[in-house]
Amino acid sequence: MADVSICIIDGCGKREKYNGMCSMHAERVRKHGSPEKGAFRPKGKCILDGCENTHYGQGYCLKHYKRWSKYGDPLAGGLEWGTAQKYLYEVAGTTGTKECIRWPFGYNSTGYGRVSWKSKACNAHAVVCEIAHGPKPTPKHECCHRCGQGHLGCVNPDHLYWGTRSDNMQDALRHGTRANSNYLRGEQSPKSKFPQSTIDAARLALSRGEQQKAVASRFGLSQSHVSRIKHGKR
């Protein structure tokens, strides 16, 4: 049996494949011009004093690299990562406080607190509700506010509960915080053109047998509107 040729690179010990080298070192030479380049090297630590996170880029860990990339300074950017997440557990354990507790970190355009939770962007009040009261009973349940101050960032666990979509809408109507006219009725709706007293008087006249055209003329309504009142559509 012929002798097996070994890679000429010191310390390799693999079988020779091309030009006296094993396939790994030969490929490094082809790609990088040197059998030493391109080798995997275990990542070290972040170069910042006191940071034990694994190196990601430019000598920094991922956290400090992102700050360096965004602000030009690896220490810029405000709060330490995880501060908001720690606060979630702290506030979820707060009980007996009647006043609203305002979320002290980021918000969305509608005023609700936002936080990164389990690698997803979530509403802070919903996360607090989950920690304090357990997970949603069903996927369709929503985090509701008893205080009506959700749009102002309230995360008081005593003010939160899991409810249905209907519960949430009823809370919004009761607190006057629902701006969508599809959920507002009567004089509360921004689409309302006539006071409830006019509609009630027109409905009473119709119930007494008065013609729709006469009712429309007397109350300043269109006949089509009177027809919808008569049939309960308005």
In the numeric block, which tokens belong to residue 207?
């119930």
**CA end-to-end distance (rounded Å), the chain:** 99
Among the candidates 54, 78, 102, a domain finishes at 78
Residues 73 and 102 in one domain: no
Residues 12 and 64 in one domain: no
Residues 111 and 130 in one domain: yes
Residues 121 and 90 in one domain: yes
Residues 179 and 92 in one domain: yes
CATH at 102: 3.90.75
Residues 111 and 151 in one domain: yes
Residues 112 and 143 in one domain: yes
Residues 151 and 100 in one domain: yes
List per-residue pLDDT tens for the chain, 234 residues long: 457 788 888 888 888 888 888 988 888 888 878 887 766 656 788 888 888 888 888 888 888 888 888 888 888 876 676 888 899 999 988 878 889 999 998 888 888 999 988 888 899 999 999 999 999 999 999 999 999 999 899 999 999 999 999 999 888 888 877 655 454 555 555 556 777 888 888 888 888 888 888 888 888 888 888 888 888 766
Q: Is 160 helix (H, G, I), strand (E, B) or coil?
A: strand
What phi and psi values does residue 170 have, to the nearest 5 degrees?
Answer: -65, -40
For residues 160, 161, 164, 170, the Cα torsion angle rounded to the nearest 10 degrees is -50
Among the candidates 20, 53, 78, a domain finishes at 78
Residues 160 and 117 in one domain: yes
Residues 214 and 164 in one domain: no
Decide if 9 contacts 25 (C-beta within 8 A).
yes
Please choose, from the candidates 137, 135, 157, the residue with its C-alpha nearest in 3D space to the C-alpha of residue 147: 157
Domain that includes residue 53, residue range: 44-78
Instruction: Give me the number of domains the chain comprises.
Output: 4
The pLDDT assigned to 181 comes to 42
The pLDDT assigned to 136 comes to 94
Q: What is the pTM of this model?
A: 0.50
Q: Pairing relation of β-strands 114-117 and 60-61? A: unpaired
CA distances from 159 to 14, 116, 164 (A): 68, 22, 16
Residues 102 and 137 in one domain: yes
Q: Please give the Cα distance from 10 to 64 (Å, whole number).
A: 38
In the numeric block, which tokens belong to residue 114?
């936002």
Q: Please give the Cα distance from 89 to 209 (Å, whole number).
A: 65
Residues 108 and 165 in one domain: yes
For residues 177, 147, 122, 73, the Cα torsion angle rounded to the nearest 10 degrees is 100
